[in-house]
Structures are given as structure tokens and as C-alpha cells.
Structure 1
Amino acid sequence: MLLHILEQYGYFGLFGLLFLGIVGLPLPDETLLTFVGVLIQKGHMAYVPAFLAAFLGSSVGITLSYLIGRLLGRSAVERLGRFLHLTEERLEKVERYMERYGRFALFFGYFVPGLRHVTALTAGFGQMNYRIFAPFAYGGALVWVLTFLLLGQAVGHQWRHIEEMLYPFRYWIGTLVVLSLGTPFLWRFFSHRRKAAQESGEDSQEQE
């Protein structure tokens, strides 16, 4: 089906599929991006327009999810949950995740299947400022798209065999990717917070 859409609509089809996948339709986004990388490697698609279509589709999709959450609120999102494959338990879990990691969850959530559109919804009904949302959401889209397009180019015609072999471990792989990419950012974030707390404590002692 995905191959047929790509053959029929090309880059517009790629944009549409990623847009719908990010919003919440159960589409294999990582598989799609990896396959597009294979098509690029074989010369059936050009790199720049494929990258732009994928990045814009992901960015528009994540923005729509954010706007749905921001404009409609949590109660409306809960009612729409069955259309977005979103249970109340899952929503609460992502809310806790967002409370703990905040904006970094937007960036690294792309690499965890099923988390992308939920983090954007949560950021929306949590009234996260768009100026904070945008760089992390779109930066995450950029890195996510590049990662799987390059992976597709690297594995070439072996991609189906590799996909079948790795599919059962996709959540573990996603978690490892997030940890690998996120550790330096989190280390800097918590280092700055600890330093700020120490400076605040020193200022309080001086005032005493």
C-alpha cells in the first residue's frame, strides 16, 4: 500500500503519509522513511526533495497535534482518543513523561513508536508556549528524518531482511537511540540546574 502511494504520488505521497502518521494514524513511519532511503540509494528518488517532503510532512503533522491539544483541551483530546489510538492510561503516562523531561520529550519522542503525536498533544493542552515547542519539535523531526533516510541508504536492498530481524526489538532500539542522543543534552541540562541551585544557595548564605 505504502509503495503504491509513493509510486502514484511521489513526494506529495511521502508528505501526506508522514503527516497522517505523525497525527496519529497507525502507519509504520520508520519503515517508510527507511524504504525511501533505499529508493534514494537506488536512484528512484532524489535526496533533497525526499528529505524536504518527509521533514515538512512530519513538521506539519506535529504542529497539527499541538494545535489540537492547545485549542480543544484535554477533555476533547480524551474524547478523540479512540480515533487517535490514545487511551487515558497512555495519555497520563505521557503527561508524567512530559513533566519529567519537558521539551526534551518532544525532541526524542520521535524515536519511540507511538509517542510522537502524544507528546505534541500534551504540550498543546498543557499550554506550552509555541516558541518553546517549535525548536524542539522541528529539531526532533529533522534528526529523526535524517536518521532513517541515512539508514535506508546504508542498508540498501537488505532492508527487508534487517527490518524483519529488528522489528521485535523496535522499542528497545528506540530507547537506546533516545539515550544515545539525549544523554549529552540531559547532562548539560541537569548540570546547569545544579549549578544554578548552588549559586542560589550561596547567594542566600551571603544575604544571611
Structure 2
Amino acid sequence: MFEWIANLVASWGYPGVFLLMVLENLFPPIPSELIMAAAGFAAARGELSLVPLLVAAVAGTLAGNIAWYEAGRWLGVDRFRPLVARYGKWFAVEEEDVDRATGLLKRYGPVALCFGRMLPGVRTLISVPAGMVEIPRSVFYLWTALGSAVWLTFLALAGYFLEEHYDRVEAWVGPLAWVVIGIAVGGYAAHLVFAFRRARRRRAQG
């Protein structure tokens, strides 16, 4: 998988990096860890340049998160909560998650946005409550871009400097990617099972 992503990034160029990062932040088909490590690897082979690919990656990340932020801002907490109560189980989100995220953002604001960009499972979801609590757009854009730039630069440099050891790295990165995907799919399936069981119990008690 790693080599396939690296070849894909190299053939699509900077627009491909941008598009993959937009998709990763809208609905992650491929983790950013793999995308950026592969992009860094392509840069080490001379197929891309580090600075433009980082600009494209940060721009794609920001574009994907702006979509979630604006959706959250349009909905607001009052309109979003009934949707979570009804459909949240399909997206592994519950009302308690909304409360925690909005509370975190109200308390820590820019710091939460910046460091949240480096945490898997948080970096995309945090954009919705950021919009709901109406963090100013300038603050959201700035701190999302800064946090993303730090994390994506680290990932790209890792791929860049590991280029000489590609044969050894690819041997475990590829299988590891499938393991991560399998865990994510299995975790989501388990979540659905428990969510529907809880909903059934609530209906029975009501």
C-alpha cells in the first residue's frame, strides 16, 4: 500500500496531495500518516519538492476542515444535538462527545485546535464543535493551519529521511496500514453493535 500511495502522489503531483488531504479530512479513506510519509518518500526520490507539497497538504487539510467548521457553525449546538441523538450512532458520536468537545473548545480554544490537529480521531471531529461554539474564523484558520503544518511537516520529513531504508520500511508499513484499517473497521462495527443495543434498551425502558 505504501508504494502504491507514493506512486499515486508522484503521478498526481501537488494537486493530488491537496485532494488526498481534503478527502482525508472529510471522510478519511487513507490516513494522513500514510499520505504524508509517501509524499515525503516521493520528494526524496526527486519526484516532488518538500515545500510545495507541504503547502498543498496544509491547504488541503484546511479546506477539508473548513467544510466541517462551516457545517458546525450553520447547525449550532441546539440543532446539532437532536441529530446526534438520532443519527450519531452511525458516526461513532454521542451527545456526551459533543458536550466534551464544546467544553474543551470553550475552555482552551486555540490551544485545543492546534494540538488537536496532531491527534488521530480528534483532528477532524474538533472542527464541528469549533464551528458550533463560533470560534472566530480567523482564529480557527490560523491555529488549524499551524497545528497541521507542524504535524504534516514531521510526517513528510519522516518519509523523506527514511527513503534510503525504503525496502525495510515498506515491509512493515504496508501490512501495518492494513492492520490499522482493519482495527478501524472492526471498531466501527463494534460501536454500531453496542449503539443499537443501547438504543434498544432505552426504547424498552421508555
* TM-score, with structure 2 as normaliser: 0.68
Structure 1 contact 91–118 (Cα < 8 Å) conserved: no
Cα deviation for residue 64 of structure 1 reads 1.6
Equivalent residue in structure 2 for 1:53, among 52, 56, 59: 56
> Residue type of the partner of 2:170?
R
Alignment partner, residue 28 of structure 1: 31
Alignment partner, residue 203 of structure 2: none
Cα deviation for residue 48 of structure 1 reads 2.8
Structure 1 contact 37–150 (Cα < 8 Å) conserved: yes
Which runs of 4 or more aligned residues in structure 1 lie more than 6 Å from their structure 2 counterparts after TM superposition? 164-169
Alignment partner, residue 199 of structure 1: none
Match runs of 1:125-136 below 5 Å:
125-136=132-143
Does residue 87 of structure 1 match 2:93?
A: yes
Distance across 2 between alignment mates of 1:44 and 1:31: 17
Distance across 2 between alignment mates of 1:149 and 1:67: 28
- Between 17-26 and 51-60, report the one with greater CA deviation: 17-26
> Residue type of the partner of 2:9?
L
The DSSP-based 3-state class of the residue aligned with 2:30 is coil
Alignment partner, residue 123 of structure 1: 130
Distance across 1 between alignment mates of 2:87 and 2:115: 24
Cα deviation for residue 30 of structure 1 reads 1.1
Distance across 2 between alignment mates of 1:3 and 1:152: 10
Alignment partner, residue 159 of structure 1: 169
Distance across 2 between alignment mates of 1:155 and 1:80: 43
Distance across 1 between alignment mates of 2:122 and 2:27: 9
What are the ranges of 5 or more consecutive residues in structure 2 without an aligned counterpart?
181-206
Alignment partner, residue 37 of structure 1: 40
Distance across 1 between alignment mates of 2:36 and 2:98: 26
Q: After superposition, what is the alpha-carbon deviation per residue over 1:93-134, rounded to whole angstroms, capped at 9, x for unaligned?
A: 433433443221111112111111211111101111112222
Cα deviation for residue 140 of structure 1 reads 0.9
Equivalent residue in structure 2 for 1:13, among 5, 13, 16: 16
Does residue 143 of structure 1 match 2:146?
A: no
Does residue 66 of structure 1 match 2:72?
A: no
Structure 2 contact 5–38 (Cα < 8 Å) conserved: no
* TM-score, with structure 1 as normaliser: 0.68
Structure 2 contact 74–132 (Cα < 8 Å) conserved: yes
Distance across 2 between alignment mates of 1:26 and 1:97: 27
Structure 1 contact 65–120 (Cα < 8 Å) conserved: yes
Structure 1 contact 152–159 (Cα < 8 Å) conserved: no
Give aligned pairs, total: 168
Q: After superposition, what is the alpha-carbon deviation per residue over 1:144-187, rounded to whole angstroms, capped at 9, x for unaligned?
A: 22111111112221433464798789xxxxxxxxxxxxxxxxxx
Q: After superposition, what is the alpha-carbon deviation per residue over 1:26-83, rounded to whole angstroms, capped at 9, x for unaligned?
A: 4311111011111111212222321221111011112221111111223346377577
Does residue 97 of structure 1 match 2:104?
A: yes
Cα deviation for residue 141 of structure 1 reads 1.6
- Between 1-10 and 29-38, report the one with greater CA deviation: 1-10
Structure 1 contact 15–54 (Cα < 8 Å) conserved: yes
Distance across 2 between alignment mates of 1:122 and 1:43: 40
> Residue type of the partner of 2:27?
G
Cα deviation for residue 5 of structure 1 reads 4.2
| Percent of pairs with identical residues | 27
